[in-house]
Amino acid sequence: MLTWNVTYHCKPGQRDAFYQALCDLGVREHSKAEAGNCRYDYYFAAEAPDDLLLVETWTTPEAQQAHCQTEKFAQLQARKAQFCDGVEIEKFNW
């Protein structure tokens, strides 16, 4: 299993708009339907109003890599460029 904690550091005041853009694209639903996905959930940081945390878990690194090749992932990257200043990724294999 592979879990990634992805923290999106949104531009000031843009977290809600970024999250709404992801919802409008159906990123979570599409990702959860992909082969090998176990979890794909967003969380709002109580003490960091411009951060959005994504926790995603995949059965194998290959499944996660396939996810990164989808059209929906490319659309996510475009929204990330529009709304975010940076991203931090923590990777866990278990």
For 3-28, the pLDDT digits (tens) are 999 999 999 999 999 999 999 999 99
Q: What residue type is assigned to position 22 of the chain?
A: L
Say how far residue 53 (Cα) sits from the centre of its chain: 7
- pTM for the predicted model, two decimal places: 0.94
Q: What domains can be seen in the chain, in order of their start residue?
A: 2-51+58-93 (3.30.70.100)
pLDDT at 33 over 90: yes
As given in the structure block, the two tokens for residue 71 are 């059209």
Question: 65-89 burial by CB neighbour count: b if 16+ within 10 A, else e?
Answer: ebbeeeebeebbeebbeebbeeeee
| Confidence (pLDDT) at 94 | 80
For 40-91, the pLDDT digits (tens) are 999 998 999 999 999 999 999 999 999 999 999 999 999 999 999 999 999 9
